[in-house]
């Protein structure tokens, strides 16, 4: 049983590696996981059989396969259906709105509607930031168990962001427990000095979390005193975020319903 769990863990680490790097060879994966090339090849063959990875040509490098790319197609649908709602949230809040996903231990920003304010946070589209210092990253990490988060950060230091030094993993796990109860992620000048953000889960048509909806702006407008509790402005922004996320999920479900009826 222990050997089976170890194989599953190693397979998941391969998928995370390929999320962070477009393609990798067997020897590169073996070195990254500190396993033998034959073990890496066997794991890759199993993943390829289930279409989680694919090999460009015989002896070539591996990349994520169709079974993993299907998540990207769901995200495309979320963007298409949710864009008007995100723009409306930007107009209502006057803050920059982002859609973000988790890639390994990094928050990746995939869409944005910038605030009209002169003093604003600009688009982060195409950029990545350490998940443990972003509102979106914390919310997405909180979707996983503590054991899964420990596995994710195995051998990875919790560094980066506005504060120097390394954060303790146990401190992050304690914060994630709070995030699970509260239902939102929060960042007060952790990713960048002077920047604040709040994030809620964005569910796909099947109800599973596919990313986060985030509002980002100057911390002087969100919570100028950096109080541990939510400011009145933050509470209002969370209400807006939740309403918008609910509307996007409803729109997605309505869009998916006719397709499901046609299949039956």
| pLDDT for the residue numbered 264 | 40
Percent of the chain whose pLDDT exceeds 90: 48
Q: Which fold has domain 69-258?
A: Beta-Lactamase (3.30.450)
CB-based contact 136:100 (threshold 8 Å): yes
Please check the confidence at residue 66 and state whether its pLDDT lies above 80: no
* Residue-wise pLDDT tens digits, 182-234: 999 999 999 999 999 999 999 887 778 889 999 999 999 999 999 999 999 99
Lowest mean pLDDT among 40-44, 58-62, 139-143, 242-246: 58-62
Rounded CA-CA distance 65/46 in Å is 12
Residues of the chain with CATH 3.30.450.40: 69-258
Q: Which CATH number fits domain 2-64: 1.20.1560.10, 2.60.40.420, 1.10.10.10, 3.30.1330.40?
A: 1.10.10.10
Residue 156 pLDDT grade (very low, low, confident, very high; cuts 50, 70, 90): confident
If you average pLDDT over residues 55-63, what whole number do you get? Answer: 75
Q: Which is higher by pLDDT, 69 or 66?
A: 66
CB-based contact 139:186 (threshold 8 Å): no
Percent of the chain whose pLDDT exceeds 70: 89
Residue 72 pLDDT grade (very low, low, confident, very high; cuts 50, 70, 90): low
CB within 8 A of 255, min separation 6: which ones?
A: 77, 81, 205
| pLDDT for the residue numbered 263 | 44
Whether the CA torsion 78, 82, 86, 87 is positive or negative: it is positive
How far is C-alpha 27 from the chain's CA centre?
Answer: 28
CB-based contact 12:151 (threshold 8 Å): yes
* Residue-wise pLDDT tens digits, 163-183: 888 899 999 999 999 999 999
Rounded CA-CA distance 131/76 in Å is 22
Rounded CA-CA distance 233/19 in Å is 36
Please check the confidence at residue 262 and state whether its pLDDT lies above 70: no
If you average pLDDT over residues 152-171, what whole number do you get? Answer: 89
- Tokens for 88, please give them: 């409306």
Residue whose token pair is 């680490």: 13
Residue whose token pair is 């199993």: 46
Residues of the chain with CATH 1.10.10.10: 2-64
The whole-chain average pLDDT of the chain stands at 86
What does pTM read for this prediction? Answer: 0.72
């Amino acid at each position: 049983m222990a050997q089976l769990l170890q194989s599953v863990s190693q397979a998941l680490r391969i998928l995370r590696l390929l999320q962070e790097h477009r393609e990798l060879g067997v020897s590169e994966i073996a070195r990254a996981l500190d396993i033998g090339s034959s073990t890496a090849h066997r794991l890759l063959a199993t993943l390829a059989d289930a279409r989680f990875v694919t090999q460009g040509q015989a002896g070539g490098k591996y990349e994520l396969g169709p079974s993993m790319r299907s998540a990207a197609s769901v995200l495309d649908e979320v963007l298409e259906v949710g864009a008007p709602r995100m723009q409306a949230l930007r107009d209502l809040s006057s803050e920059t709105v982002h859609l973000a996903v988790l890639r390994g231990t990094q928050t990746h920003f995939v869409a944005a509607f910038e605030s009209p304010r002169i003093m604003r946070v600009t688009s982060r589209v195409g950029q990545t930031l350490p998940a443990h210092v972003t509102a979106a990253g914390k919310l997405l990490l909180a979707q996983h168990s503590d054991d899964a988060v420990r596995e994710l950060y195995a051998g990875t230091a919790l560094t980066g962001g506005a504060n120097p030094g390394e954060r303790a993993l146990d401190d992050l796990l304690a914060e994630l427990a709070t995030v699970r109860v509260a239902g939102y992620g929060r960042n007060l000048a952790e990713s960048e000095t002077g920047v604040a953000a709040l994030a809620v889960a964005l569910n796909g048509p099947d109800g599973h979390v596919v990313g986060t909806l985030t509002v980002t702006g100057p911390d002087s407008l969100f919570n100028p005193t950096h109080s541990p509790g939510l400011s009145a402005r933050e509470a209002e922004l969370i209400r807006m975020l939740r309403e918008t996320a609910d509307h996007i999920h409803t729109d997605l479900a309505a869009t998916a319903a006719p397709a499901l009826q046609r299949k039956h």
